[in-house]
Amino acid sequence: NRDLIKWVNFDVKGDERGSLNVIESSKDVPFQIERIYYIYGTRTGVTRGYHAHKDLKQVLIAISGSCNIKLDDGEYSTVVHLSSPERGIYLDSLLWREMSDFSSDCVLLCIASSYYDEDDYIRDYAEFKSYVLKRG
Ligand code: TYD
């Protein structure tokens, strides 16, 4: 289902020297930025994620290389290929995500609306489904 895919396009400040992208809190992403982290050096065949967040919002950008992200809102699921530093994908809360097919040069930049909080994670898919149903 394509409605799950919300791209965030960045204005590339490119000139003869190359490219520069800016991400400002609440302007270029639809939330206040409280944390960034990046996933890199992912071994061949590794899959990550397998969780949803109760409240956290994120934008993920493959600033180098590529990977796939499976998104699942409890009803529909889709796979998104991330392969460009010029756009990211917006992940609202309550989306189950599974990342796979990382290229060896993949650097996945993750921009998040809150500090790390293990209590915000739902790491069990059945629990995710019942949480979504409860929320209606
Ligand atoms: P994990 O949630 O397994 O990553 P992913 O969902 O991408 O597969 O996180 C790996 C480890 O890093 C885990 O021990 C928790 C820790 N971690 C932090 O301490 N702070 C953070 O902001 C994140 C994202 C993870």
Q: Answer yes or no: is 70 within a domain.
A: yes
| Bridge partners, residue 18, by sequence | 15
* Domain-embedded: residue 15: no
Q: What is the pLDDT of residues 20-59, one digit of tens each?
A: 999 999 999 999 999 999 999 999 999 999 999 999 999 9
What pLDDT score does 135 carry?
Answer: 86
Give the ipTM: 0.93
Is residue 40 one of the residues assigned to a domain? yes
- Output the CA 117–ligand 1 centroid distance in Å: 10
Those residues whose C-beta lies under 8 Å from the C-beta of residue 55, and which sit 6 or more positions away, are 93, 113, 114, 120
Q: Quote the CA–CA distance of 14 and 48 in Å, as a whole number.
A: 33
Q: What is the mean pLDDT of the segment spanning 99-106?
A: 98
135 belongs to a structural domain: no
Q: Domain tally for the chain? A: 1
Let me know if 81 is a catalytic residue.
no
Distance 14 CA to ligand 1 centre (A): 33
- For residue 84, being part of any structural domain is answered with yes
Write out the E strands in the chain.
6-9, 35-40, 48-53, 58-64, 67-72, 77-82, 87-91, 96-100, 107-112, 121-122
